[in-house]
């Protein structure tokens, strides 16, 4: 790493409790590999200070920043431009700064879908997706799947109203009509899972404090399915472990993190991401 000085281009991840983020190791490995005088670091920001922090950042030597919970929606108020996909998703997780101008992107959906396409050879327009959850991660992923013409997308959520709202937003913003909202608790999910090729968990069921739980009944799994989880800690959630035991192809959320990192690196530097160095930095 080059010594940090006034010339160093700064990049930060802003969140409320970001101390455990793996992004700094991954992005600093990329900057080192490309011999760029950039430095990426985490900053804990309480929601009430987001506007002040962003105003300060825009006046300093920052190339951009990443946003995580709970700032992805609030940040949109403070940006000069928003990329069309981020606008449709309704949240921003990556900002590029050019001469004080803030431009927002959302790489969550793109990162996840690219990891499926490249690592698992899943083509959106040839598959039916069963997505569990209707929060921020689901919104990014389902909007991206819809904009890539997925054959059909089931959205199963604990709160049915949120799944219905998300389906309606996708219909309105993307013009995509094949989203079906389902109630995670009461619908007879087995028949929808049977009709699907790819299962995606976008809830936090599987990570602390729910690390001993699966978001769906694992007896629904069959070996022909690809099963993905946005969670990467633990490495194998209960859902992914059960899927592996059934012989399914599985992928955890590290792929999403990595592919988002590649996209963010390219947004900030305009250079191709050093993929091997970034992947190695994520190995525990
Ligand atoms: P969010 O907006 O708060 O949404 C949470 C979702 O989980 C909602 O659908 C919620 O259902 C559901 N849920 C929460 N507790 C539940 C429970 N006890 N039973 C059933 N469903 C429950 O959160 P998010 O931003 O989408 O993040 C979700 C996950 O994605 C987190 O684990 C996060 O770490 C992960 N993530 C990973 C990456 C990556 O790079 N790998 C990137 C972004 C996010 P209700 O609507 O009913 O509340």
- The pLDDT tens digits for 74-126 are 999 999 999 999 999 999 999 999 999 999 999 999 999 999 999 999 999 99
| Residues composing the chain | 284
For residue 253, give the ligand 1 atom closest to its CA: 41
Percentage with pLDDT > 90 across the chain:
94
C-beta 70 within 6 A of ligand 1: no
Q: What's the gap in Å between 259 CA and the centre of ligand 1?
A: 19
Strand bridging mode 198-201 / 128-132: parallel
C-beta 204 within 6 A of ligand 1: yes
For residue 68, give the ligand 1 atom closest to its CA: 43
Residue in 264, 274, 255 with CA at minimum distance from that of residue 30: 274
C-beta 158 within 6 A of ligand 1: yes
Centroid of chain to Cα 260: 7
Residue in 278, 279, 283, 282 with CA at minimum distance from that of residue 33: 278
Tokens of 99: 């001469």
C-beta 202 within 6 A of ligand 1: yes
14-71 pLDDT, tens digit per residue, is: 999 898 899 999 999 999 999 999 999 999 999 999 999 999 999 999 999 999 989 9
Question: Is the pLDDT assigned to residue 279 strictly greater than 80?
Answer: yes
Residue 66 host element (H or E): strand 62-67
Mean pLDDT (the chain) is 95
C-beta 256 within 6 A of ligand 1: yes
Catalytic residues: 72
To test the ligand 1 pocket, which listed residue (70, 158, 207) has its Cβ within 8 A of the most ligand atoms? 158
Q: What's the gap in Å between 133 CA and the centre of ligand 1?
A: 7
To test the ligand 1 pocket, which listed residue (202, 233, 254, 260) has its Cβ within 8 A of the most ligand atoms? 202
Q: What's the gap in Å between 196 CA and the centre of ligand 1?
A: 21
Looking at residue 3, its pLDDT comes to 86
C-beta 207 within 6 A of ligand 1: yes
Cα distance between residue 103 and residue 110, in whole Å = 17
CA angle at residue 220 from 219 to 224, to 5 degrees?
115
Question: Is the pLDDT assigned to residue 2 strictly greater than 80?
Answer: no
Q: Which residue has the tokens 């592919």?
A: 259
Looking at residue 283, its pLDDT comes to 85
When mean pLDDT is compared across 2-11, 110-119, 210-219, the lowest value belongs to 2-11
C-beta 232 within 6 A of ligand 1: yes
H helices of the chain, in order, are 23-33, 50-58, 84-89, 108-120, 136-147, 160-174, 190-194, 238-246, 254-269, 275-281
Residues 124-146: what's their mean pLDDT? Answer: 96
Rg (CA), the chain: 19
- What region, left, alpha or beta, does residue 226 occupy, with left being phi > 0 and alpha being psi -120 to 50 degrees? beta
Looking at residue 215, its pLDDT comes to 97
Tokens of 240: 């992914």
Cα distance between residue 107 and residue 30, in whole Å = 17
Looking at residue 188, its pLDDT comes to 87
What residues form DSSP beta bridges with 180? 154
What residues form DSSP beta bridges with 207? 205
Q: Which residue has the tokens 């035991």?
A: 245
Looking at residue 184, its pLDDT comes to 94
Question: Is the pLDDT assigned to residue 1 strictly greater than 70?
Answer: no
Tokens of 59: 């006046």
Distance separating the N- and C-terminal Cα atoms of the chain = 20
CB 262 within 8 A of CB 29: no
Q: Provide the sign of the torsion angle of the four alpha carbons 213, 169, 103, 16, taken in this order.
A: negative
């Amino acid at each position: 790493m080059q010594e940090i000085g006034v010339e160093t281009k700064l990049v930060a991840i802003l969140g409320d409790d970001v101390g455990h983020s793996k992004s700094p190791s991954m992005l600093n490995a990329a900057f080192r590999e490309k011999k760029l005088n950039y430095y990426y670091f985490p900053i804990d920001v309480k929601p009430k200070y987001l506007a002040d922090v962003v105003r300060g950042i825009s006046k300093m030597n920052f190339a951009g920043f990443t946003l995580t919970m709970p700032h992805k929606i609030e940040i949109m108020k403070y940006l000069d431009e928003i990329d069309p996909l981020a606008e449709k998703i309704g949240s921003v997780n990556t900002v590029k700064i050019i001469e004080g101008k803030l431009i927002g992107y959302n790489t969550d959906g793109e990162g996840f879908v690219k990891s499926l396409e490249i690592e698992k050879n899943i083509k959106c327009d040839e598959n039916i997706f069963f997505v569990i959850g209707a929060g921020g991660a689901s919104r990014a992923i389902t909007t991206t799947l819809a904009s890539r013409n997925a054959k059909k997308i089931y959205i199963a959520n604990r709160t049915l109203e949120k799944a219905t709202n998300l389906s309606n937003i996708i219909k309105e913003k993307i013009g995509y009509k094949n989203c079906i909202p389902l109630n995670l608790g009461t619908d007879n999910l087995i028949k929808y899972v049977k009709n699907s090729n790819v299962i995606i968990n976008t809830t936090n069921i599987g990570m602390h404090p729910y690390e001993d739980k699966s978001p769906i009944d694992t007896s629904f799994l069959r070996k022909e399915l690809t099963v993905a989880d946005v969670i990467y800690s633990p490495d194998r959630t209960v859902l992914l472990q059960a899927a592996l035991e059934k012989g399914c192809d599985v992928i955890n959320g590290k792929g999403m993190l990595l592919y988002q990192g590649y996209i963010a690196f390219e947004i900030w530097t305009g250079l191709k991401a050093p993929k091997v160095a970034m992947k190695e930095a994520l190995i525990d």
